[in-house]
Amino acid sequence: MKKFNRLLLGALFSLLFLSQGAFADPIQDNVFQGRRVGWFKSNSTPCPIVCKKMKGSVAEFEAFFAPQIKNKRTSVCKAPTHTKQPSGKGWLYGNNFSSAGRNRLCLVSTPSGRAQREKRFYCLCVLK
């Protein structure tokens, strides 16, 4: 029984250390990788336009239906954050909506649950 407990404890510690690398964003900025995707900088430019400039790519998006809203698509975006926990910096992931007035912003939610509008953000582009 002691041997089993040691083995189980060893496996748990191994998984704990291996899982630490799972929190990193596997997609790098400003370059298409082997997965044929990349984050590209946008200075208040809608994501479909940013990705269209990268030949052969489109913005990663979700389509949805909401009768009260004129939006038909929302593109994936990320904006930098400077928080106190854990490392002092990181990324907030959000939406770049297709409607006028919102298409130049990345709407993200902070860790405290507050909505935030960012003018400088990155767009997720995918090669066709």
Q: What is the pLDDT of residues 1-36, one digit of tens each?
A: 666 555 554 544 454 444 444 445 667 777 777 678
pTM of the model: 0.69
Assigned token pair, 10: 């060893």
Q: Dig out the tokens for 61 from the structure.
A: 């998006």
Distance (Å) of CA 2 to CA 9, 12, 15, 53: 10, 15, 20, 62
- Residue 41 has a pLDDT of 92
